[in-house]
Structure 1
Amino acid sequence: MAKKASYHEQFGPAVEEPWVELCFDSGTLIIKGLKDSDFARLDTKAFRLSFDPRVGVHRCPAFVYRSLLGELLGKGLSVVDSARGYAEFDREDLVERSPRVHQAEAMQAWLSAGKRGVVVMPTGAGKSHLAVMAIQDVARSALVVAPTLDLVEQWQRLLKSHFGEPVGAIGGGTHDPQALTVTTYDSAAIHMERIGSKWGLVIFDEVHHLPSDMYRWAAEAAIAPFRLGLTATLERVDGKHAVIHEIIGPTVYEKNTRELAGDVLADYETRVVEVAFSETDAELYAASRAEYREFVEKEGIRMGGRHGWQNFLRATSRSREGRRAFKAFQRQKRRALGHENKLEKVREILCEHPDESVLIFANDNATVYALAELLLAPALTHHTPLAERAEILERFRAGRYRAVVTSRVLNEGVDVPAASIAIILSGTGSVREHVQRLGRILRKEEGKRAILYELVTPDSAETFVSQRRREHDAYR
C-alpha cells in the first residue's frame, strides 16, 4: 500500500515561525504551524477546531473562515492567508434602478450585521434586486445558489442584464465557474469541497432548503466571508432553520405580505370556498376512510402525534391488511382533493373572471392532467420539458392562454407572468407552499386586485389541512 503523503509534501514547506498559514482543503480549513500553546488560547468549540493526525495539522469547517481569521489576528498571530481564492473588483451596474424603501432598509440591515444574514420578504417584493445590490457593495467574486435549473437560468439572465459580463453556471451538465456564477443546491453540495474558496459572497436563494443534510454542505464547505440568504418563509416544521442562522447569519430584516400589499404588492383577498361531495363521491370517500381508520384504531396509531405518519407507514408495510389500509388512505385523500364537484367549481370560477389570467394549483399530477383535459388548458408539471414550459409561460404572458394548471413546479421562485387569480384545488398542509402560491399572483399592476380561491371539501380530512396551511400573517 502506498505511503500517505505528509502534510508538508501535500501543501508545501512550513512558514517560518511565528507565522501560521490558513489553507483551503476539501471543504475545510487547515492551519499550518499552529503551536499547542496558541491552540489552547483559541475557542476550539466555536470553530469546531481539532487536530487531524492524518496530516498533522489543525482542521475546521470552511465556513468559519472569517471569524477564525479574525480570532488568529486578534491573538497576535501573524497569518499567511492561502485559503482565499476569490478576487476583488468594482462592478458597475448597467441597469440604474433606485431601491424601494423596504429594499433599502433590508440592505442597510444586512450591512449593519456585517454583510451576513437572512432577509425574509414575500414573492414579488424584489429579493433579487437586493442580491444585485449586495454584489455591487461587496465587490468580490459572487456565487448565487438556487434550487432548480429554471432558477439558475433566470438568475443568469438577471445578473447578465445588470452587469453585462460573463455569468458562469454549474449544474445540468454545465461546469463553467466565473467571477459571477449561478449553481443549484445539488451541484453546490457536490462541488463545493473543490471550489469553495473561489467566492467572497454567496447568496442562497430560497434559503429554507439549506438545512438538509446534503445541502448544508454547500454553505459549510465555502469560505465566503459575506453571505446572504433570501426566502419568503424561513421557518421549517422540523426546527432546522436554526442551522441557517449558524452558517449564514441571523434574520436581519423581515417584511410580510400584509405589510407590502397595496404598495409594493397588489391588493388581494383570499376566499375559502367549501365544495361538498356529490352523493356518489361522498359514499366512496366514506368507505375508503372507514377502512383506513379501522386499521389505524386497531394498531393504536395517533395520526395527529409527532410520529403518527411514520408509525402508520411502518404498520402498513407489515401485512396485507396494512397495505390495503394504505391504499384506502390514498383513495380517500384523492377523492377529497379532486372530486367531481371541485372540478366543476373551477370551471365556474373561470367563468366569473373571463378577462383575467388564472393559475390553478393541484397536489398531484393526475389531477393536473384531468383538469387540464376538462378545461382544455395547458398543464405544467415536473415532467414538462424546459423548452415546452418556457413556451407555455410565454403564451400565458401574451394572453394566448387564459389559464395554466400546475402541481408544484411553479411554487417556488420561477418568474411567472402576472396573473391575478389563483385557484388552489388541493395541496399539502405546508404553510410555505400556501404562501408561495399566493405570491404567484401578487406582482403589482395598476388597478389590480388579486384573488386567491381555496377549494375545500367540508366534512373531510382536508378541512384540518386547510386550517393548518393558513397559519400565516398573509391569511389573517
Structure 2
Amino acid sequence: MAELRTPDWLEPRDYQTEAVESWIQAQGQGVLHMATGTGKTITSLLAASELTDRQQGRLALFVAAPYQHLVDQWVAELGNFGATPIRAYQSRTTWTDKLAGQLTEFSSGARDLVSVVTTHATFGSSHFQKLLKRLDGTETLLIADEVHHLGAPHLRQHLPNTVSARLGLSATPNRWYDDDGTEAIYDYFSNGVVFNFRLEEAIDRGYLCEYYYIPHIVELTEEESERYIALSKAIGKRMGSVSGDIGDVDLQEDDQLKQLLFKRARLVGVAENKLLKLKSLVQRSGDIHHTLVYCSDGQLQSEGEATKRQLDAVTEMLGKNLGIKSHKFTYEENQETRERLLKDFEDGTLDALVAIRCLDEGVDVPATETAFILASSSNPRQFVQRRGRILRTHPSKRHAIIHDFIVAPPADIRNSESDSAFNLERRLVQKELQRASTFADSAKNHPDAELASIPTSPESLADLKSDFNLLDI
C-alpha cells in the first residue's frame, strides 16, 4: 500500500528540519514564514511525511495552491515522495469520481493515502467542500501554498474546520492593508507563524545568493508631467470630500478615487524614460544574459504614435534594436511554451525573459543574474516575491544584480505650497522609498557594507528623501 515517505536521496537542510519540528511541536497547526527560494515545498512535504509516520502510515493530504502551474509543480514534487496525487482543477468531471472513490476507501480503511492538489479557487468551491465532508477529519492535512491568498473574504469563509492538521506556507503571510484577512489566516492555522527563516539569514548561510541593488531615478516627460499633475489635482479634490488619510479610504467604496489612483499608477508604470534608461543600461552592460525584465501591464502613450504595451515595446527594443535574444513570458503562453522558454533561458539559448506578473510566484528561474524592475506595485508582497526569485542559487552565478526604476514626481508638485498636494505625493514617494530601503538593507552594496565596485545608490535618491522629508527611511 502506498504511503508518503521522504526519498532516500533527499538530505534535508538544517533549517527545514527545524521548521518541521517547530510545526510538530505546535500540534501540527501553524504557518511557516520562509523566504522565497528556501524550499517551502520540500519543507512542507517533509512535515507531511513525518506526520504520516506518526499516524502509522495513514494520511489524507490536500494541497491548495493559487495557480494551475503551481498545482503541476506540486504534483511533480509529491511524486518524489511516493504519491500519485489527483490533480483537481478545471473540469470537475475529470477528477470528482476518482476523488470521491478514494475518500470513501480512506474512510473505510481500505486505503492509507489520499493526495490531491488543487487551486485555491477549486478548494473553496462548494463542490469540493462537499466532497471533504466524506471524511471525519482525523488523519487529514491541508497544506496551503502562498497562504496569504486564503485570507481573501471569498476564500477564508470556506476554510474547513474538519481538517485536523494545517500547514500554511508563505514568504509574505501578512495581507497588505487587510488586518481582518491576516487575522483570519492566523486564527485558522491556530498558532500563527511557528517558524521564521528570513532572507538575511538565508543569504548569510549560503542558501540564497548575495546581491547588489541599484536604484535609478526616472523623470517624467513634460507631457507625462502635465497628465500626472492633472490626475493628482483630481485625486486631491476627491480626497477633500472624504475624511482621513488616503490610506484609510476604502477604495472598494469609492470607485472614482480608485480609478484616479489606478490611472496615475499606470502613468508612472509606463513612464517613457524608463525605456531610455533601460536601453542605456543594457548598452553599457555589453553582456546581457540570464536577465529578467519586469514590466507594467499598461500601454505607452507617446504623442503621435499608436499605443503599445510596455511589455511589447521592451521585447521589441531588446530584440530588434539591441540584438538580444529575448521573449515574453506571460499567461498568454501555454504551459508547454512556458516550460520551453524556461529551459531556453536556463541553457542560455535565450538571454532575457520579459514579464509582467507571471514570474512573481512559483516559477523557478535560479539562473537569473540580472533583473530590471521597470514597474512594481506598492504591495510589498510583489517585490519580496520577485527578489526571492532572483536570489536563488545556481552553479553559474556568484551574485545577482537588481536594477530598480523609481519615478520622481514632477518638480511642480515637489515644490508645491499646498500641504494637501504635498502630503499626497509624500505618501506615494514613501512607498517607493520603503521598497528601495527594503532592497538595500540586505544588499552587498548597502551603505553600511564594504564598498563594492558596483555604484551605490545615486545622490538623486537622497535628494528625493530630502525633498519629501523622508530622511528616516
TM-score scaled by structure 1? 0.72
SS of 2:430's equivalent?
helix
Q: Is the 8 A contact 1:270 1:475 kept in 2?
A: no
Letter paired with 2:77: L
Deviates more, 1:236-245 or 1:212-221: 212-221
Q: Is the 8 A contact 1:285 1:332 kept in 2?
A: yes
Q: Does the alignment pair 1:232 with 2:232?
A: no
SS of 1:91's equivalent?
coil
**1:207 alignment partner in structure 2:** 147
Q: Residues of 2 paired with 1:395 and 1:425: CA distance?
A: 23
Superposed CA offset, 1:408-442 (max 9, x none): 12211222352122211112110111100101111
Counterpart pick for 1:253 among 192, 195, 198 = 195
**1:18 alignment partner in structure 2:** none
Q: Does the alignment pair 1:371 with 2:314?
A: yes
Q: Residues of 2 paired with 1:448 and 1:212: CA distance?
A: 39
Structure 2 vs 1, CA of residues 315 and 99 (structure 1 numbering), >3 Å: closer, same or farther?
closer
TM-score scaled by structure 2? 0.72
**1:273 alignment partner in structure 2:** 216
Superposed CA offset, 1:121-176 (max 9, x none): 0111011111221121111121111000000001101111331x422111122425
**1:182 alignment partner in structure 2:** 117
Structure 2 vs 1, CA of residues 469 and 180 (structure 1 numbering), >3 Å: closer, same or farther?
same
Query: What pairs up with 1:3-152 in 2 under 5 angstroms?
Result: 90-139=3-52, 140-152=59-71
Q: Does the alignment pair 1:335 with 2:267?
A: yes
Counterpart pick for 1:451 among 401, 414, 417 = 401
Structure 2 vs 1, CA of residues 422 and 368 (structure 1 numbering), >3 Å: closer, same or farther?
same
Offset at residue 269 of structure 1 (A): 2.7
**2:185 alignment partner in structure 1:** 244
Q: Is the 8 A contact 1:95 1:161 kept in 2?
A: no
Q: Residues of 1 paired with 2:196 and 2:288: CA distance?
A: 35
Offset at residue 472 of structure 1 (A): 4.8
Q: Residues of 2 paired with 1:213 and 1:337: CA distance?
A: 29
Q: Residues of 2 paired with 1:301 and 1:194: CA distance?
A: 47
Offset at residue 256 of structure 1 (A): 1.1
Aligned residues: 376
SS of 2:37's equivalent?
coil
Letter paired with 2:130: E
Structure 2 vs 1, CA of residues 308 and 252 (structure 1 numbering), >3 Å: closer, same or farther?
closer
Offset at residue 340 of structure 1 (A): 2.0
Superposed CA offset, 1:44-82 (max 9, x none): xxxxxxxxxxxxxxxxxxxxxxxxxxxxxxxxxxxxxxx
Offset at residue 91 of structure 1 (A): 3.2
Q: Is the 8 A contact 1:257 1:474 kept in 2?
A: no
Q: Residues of 2 paired with 1:438 and 1:345: CA distance?
A: 21
Counterpart pick for 1:307 among 221, 238, 249 = 249
Letter paired with 1:180: S
Structure 2 vs 1, CA of residues 155 and 273 (structure 1 numbering), >3 Å: closer, same or farther?
same
Q: Residues of 2 paired with 1:311 and 1:203: CA distance?
A: 34
Q: Residues of 2 paired with 1:412 and 1:442: CA distance?
A: 14
Q: Which has the higher contact order (CA 8 A, sep 6+)?
A: 2
Structure 2 vs 1, CA of residues 457 and 409 (structure 1 numbering), >3 Å: closer, same or farther?
same
Q: Does the alignment pair 1:415 with 2:364?
A: yes
Q: Does the alignment pair 1:388 with 2:341?
A: no
SS of 2:153's equivalent?
coil
Q: Residues of 1 paired with 2:437 and 2:115: CA distance?
A: 38
Q: Residues of 2 paired with 1:212 and 1:471: CA distance?
A: 28
Q: Is the 8 A contact 2:235 2:257 kept in 1?
A: no
Q: Is the 8 A contact 2:239 2:246 kept in 1?
A: no
Offset at residue 268 of structure 1 (A): 1.5
Offset at residue 218 of structure 1 (A): 4.4
Structure 2 vs 1, CA of residues 301 and 354 (structure 1 numbering), >3 Å: closer, same or farther?
farther
Bigger Rg, which one: 1
Q: Residues of 1 paired with 2:158 and 2:437: CA distance?
A: 31
Q: Which runs of 5+ in 2 are unaligned?
A: 53-58, 103-113, 299-308, 320-325, 411-424, 443-473
SS of 2:404's equivalent?
strand
Letter paired with 1:455: F
SS of 1:445's equivalent?
coil
Q: Is the 8 A contact 2:375 2:405 kept in 1?
A: yes
Q: Is the 8 A contact 1:435 1:474 kept in 2?
A: no
Q: Residues of 2 paired with 1:112 and 1:473: CA distance?
A: 34
Deviates more, 1:168-177 or 1:426-435: 168-177
SS of 2:185's equivalent?
helix
Structure 2 vs 1, CA of residues 353 and 449 (structure 1 numbering), >3 Å: closer, same or farther?
farther
